[in-house]
Amino acid sequence: MCLRAGNVRVIRKTLLQRGMPQTSESGQANVMIGSLNGVVAAVGEDNALIEVGGVGYVVQAGSRTLGRLRAGETVKLFIETHVREDAIRLFGFDGEEERAWFAHLQTIPGVGAKVALGILDTMPPAVLVDAVALQDKAAFARANGVGPKLAARLATELAAKQGPKGLIAIAGGAGRAPVAAPATGSRAEAVSALVNLGIDQSSAARAVSAAAKQFDADAPAPELIRAALKEVSR
């Protein structure tokens, strides 16, 4: 959805009068539209037209999301809203986890919406978690628009940050939970075990992520711990 500068100012004034969320200093909206549930009217190269209640919303999205949309079908997209002086832009995602990563990636200098979408096209959230834990510059460099310097910055700076957090609880859930936690189940147990052995959290997470790649499926915690200890000793 794109609006001219004058209309954007009017919308901002109206939101202020109604006490609704405004934008942050970076210009990113504090969840003006959280999701859209409607009918796909058309799909373009980098956006789709979603009709909701008789209103058509132009939503920009990555190629993986657009690839599953079919005209005439009902779809639900999680939305990240960007407000600028001259336009309001909606970015759509299959899930809240992906939307949260889209916002999180843009906290790194040099990463805008286009680059963030390119990264998510190449690296779904599960892959991103491992790439961050391993500080895998090569993985980031495979994304469109990411050169060697930016890849190195992404790997280093994302590893030093807390992970992305979702803004919307799953329907029927008891509360709001962080999105894309770096380790769960046996992986979380393995990280905890390594930390208890005196290994720092970051090194433990990297070792467990590297060890997990040796198994075709989720490995039991004891096996994962043994493999991770070998990674630490290298």
CATH domain 97-160 topology: DNA polymerase; domain 1 (1.10.150)
Residues in the chain: 234
At the topology level, CATH places domain 185-233 in Helicase, Ruva Protein; domain 3 (1.10.8)
- pLDDT range class, residue 166, cuts 50, 70, 90: low
Residue 93 confidence class, pLDDT cut points 50, 70, 90: very high
pLDDT above 50: residue 26: no
Q: Which of 124, 126, 145, 127 lies closest to 136 in space, CA to CA?
A: 127
The partner residues of 43 in beta bridges, in order of sequence, read 48
DSSP assignment letter at 108 = S
- 231 phi, psi to nearest 5 deg: -65, -40
pLDDT class of 171 with cuts at 50, 70, 90: very low
The CA–CA distances, whole Å, from 210 to 122, 215, 222 equal 19, 10, 15
φ, ψ (nearest 5 deg) of residue 154: -60, -50
Question: Averaged over 85-112, what is the pLDDT?
Answer: 92
Fold of 5-94: OB fold (Dihydrolipoamide Acetyltransferase, E2P) (2.40.50)
pLDDT tops 60 at residue 234: yes
CA distance 181 to 84: 31
